[in-house]
Amino acid sequence: MTPLLEIKNLKTRFYTQDGVVRAVNDVSYTMDSGEILGVVGESGCGKSVHALSMMQLIPYPPGKITNGEVWLDGQDLLTLNEEEMQKVRGRDIAMIFQDPMTSLNPVFTIGFQITEALLLHNDMTKREAKDRAGELLELVGIPGAKDRLDDYPHQFSGGMRQRAMIAMGLSCEPKLLIADEPTTALDVTIQAQIIDLVKKLQEELGMAIMWITHDLGVVAELAHTINVMYAGSIIETGQIHNIYKETKHPYTIGLLGSLPRLDDAPGTELVSIPGLPPDLLALPEGCPFAARCEYRIEKCLVEKPPLEGIDGKDHSVACWRWEEIAGIGSK
């Protein structure tokens, strides 16, 4: 089966007063339709930037996609001009963001914003669009949906606004929904509601979802596969069971080890990763994680390891020594 999305060698740079920020460095992966992919990493790892790059939403200046191909349904999105891209956005790929208060326009009603999206991409009358909008709000679990179409964003709570965003994203039945930290700003009980909702919607509608977050817990609950990013590159990727249970990359191991868990035995110590993430203005040669890695050898400082597949498993690691580190899984 041909994958829905195929990204090849994506590179994005930001040209600033202080120098060149290498935000995304040679990222390649594929997604199948109906797959839920978790893209995980800390701030500055490039997870959001690479998604924006895919949608050609990187402002130039100072940003520029210097290299790469993004194949969606037989088209390389990076070769499209703005007009063509606008047809793709919203219809084939939809994106929802972290803060629903700023991603929804406060001076228009929710209903207006959803119908606007519908009318842009479909041949509908206003009446049909409004009905569809009401259906969508119901689909995302907003009580009294039809009446709430005339409400403004500030009349909705945080969780409800995020649901409205999801409704907007799904309105044109996209093939791929990109969710950039959609629950980071929400309370944990509301987050649980949204995750539950997204799982149900995905089963019903069957679209592929890319869920970008720093929260390894959320990804474990939701995703089928995971990409772990560090300093603009993917350093480990694969099926979630493999990543969580048979972690290979020292960074991922460190990350999982530094998370406290509710079922930890008392007295468990948190393993912290020493040092700081590298400055993207001056990325070192070789493996970006080498400076902080306890397993580093000479080679790591000089040559950047490529993503290597592990035989027979849906699991790839970018580390020179992954075979020696075999067997260390998370707790």
Partner 1 sequence: MKAEMKKLVEVRNLKKYFPGTEVSIFQTGNDVKAVDGVSFDIYEQETLGLVGETGCGKTTVGRTMLHLYQPTAGNIIFDGVDLNDLGERELRFARSKMQMIFQDPYASLNPRMTVGSIVGAPLDVHTDQSRTEKRERVQELLDIVGLNPDFVNRYPHEFSGGQRQRIGIARALALNPDFVVCDEPISSLDVSIQAQVVNLLEDLQKKLGLTYLFIAHDLSMVRHISDRMAVMYLGKIVELADRDEIFLNSLHPYTQALMSAVPVPDPDLAETKDRIILDGDIPNPSNPPLGCNFNTRCPVATDICFKEEPEYREVENNHWVACHLVK
Partner 2 sequence: MAQINPEEFTVTDFAVREHRSLWGDAWGRLISSNTARLGMFIVILFVFSATFSHYFWEYEPKKDLDYSLKLKAPNLVVTEEIPSIHPFGTDKLGRDIFRRVVHGGWNSLRVGIVAVGISLAFGGVIGLLTGFYETVIMTTVERIVLFGITGFLLGMLSAWISNQLIQLLVFTLLGLAAGYFKDFLEGKLSRVGIFGLLGALGSATPALFMGTSVALVCGILGLLSGVLLSMALDGRFFSNVMMRIMDMILSFPGYLLAIAIVAFLGPGLGKGMIAIGVVGIPVYARLTRSAVLSVVHKEYILAAQSVGESHGRIIFRHITPNILSPIIVQTTMGLANAILSAAALGFLGLGAIPPEPEWGAMLGDSYRYLTSGAWWAVLYPGLAIMLSVLGFNLLGDGLRDALDPKLRT
Chain residues that interact with partner 2, rule: CB under 8 A: 16, 18, 269-276, 279, 281-282, 291-292
CB atoms within 10 A of CB 66: 12
C-alpha distance across the termini of the chain, in Å: 35
Among 274, 294, 311, 312, binds partner 1 (CB under 8 A): 274
DSSP bridge partners of 94: 177
Count the residues of the shown chain that bind partner 1, applying the rule CB under 8 A: 48
CB of 278 to partner 1, least distance (A): 11
Give the CA radius of gyration of the chain.
21
Q: Is 182 exposed, middle or buried (0-12, 13-18, 19+ CB in 10 A)?
A: buried
Residue 295 engages partner 1 in binding (rule: CB under 8 A): no
Q: Which positions ≥6 away from 237 have C-beta within 8 Å?
A: 29, 225, 226, 227, 228, 243, 307, 315, 316
Residues 132-161, mask of contacts with partner 1 (x by CB under 8 A): -------------------------xxxx-
Residue 258 engages partner 1 in binding (rule: CB under 8 A): yes
**In the window 32-71, what residues touch partner 1 (CB under 8 A)?**
42-43
Residue 187 engages partner 1 in binding (rule: CB under 8 A): yes
Residue 291 contact partner, candidates partner 2, partner 1, none, CB within 5 to 8 A by sort of partner: partner 2
Determine the Cα–Cα distance for residues 179 and 48; give it in Å rounded to an integer: 10
Q: What are phi and psi of 239, to 5 degrees?
A: -70, 145
CB atoms within 10 A of CB 172: 17
Determine the Cα–Cα distance for residues 139 and 63; give it in Å rounded to an integer: 37
Nearer of residues 158 and 172 to partner 1, judged by Cβ: 158
Residue 281 contact partner, candidates partner 1, partner 2, none, CB within 5 to 8 A by sort of partner: partner 2
DSSP symbol at 89: B
**In the window 222-241, what residues touch partner 1 (CB under 8 A)?**
240-241
Residues near partner 1 (CB under 8 A) are 42-43, 157-160, 187-193, 195-196, 214-221, 240-241, 244-245, 254-256, 258-264, 266, 268-274, 276-277, 330
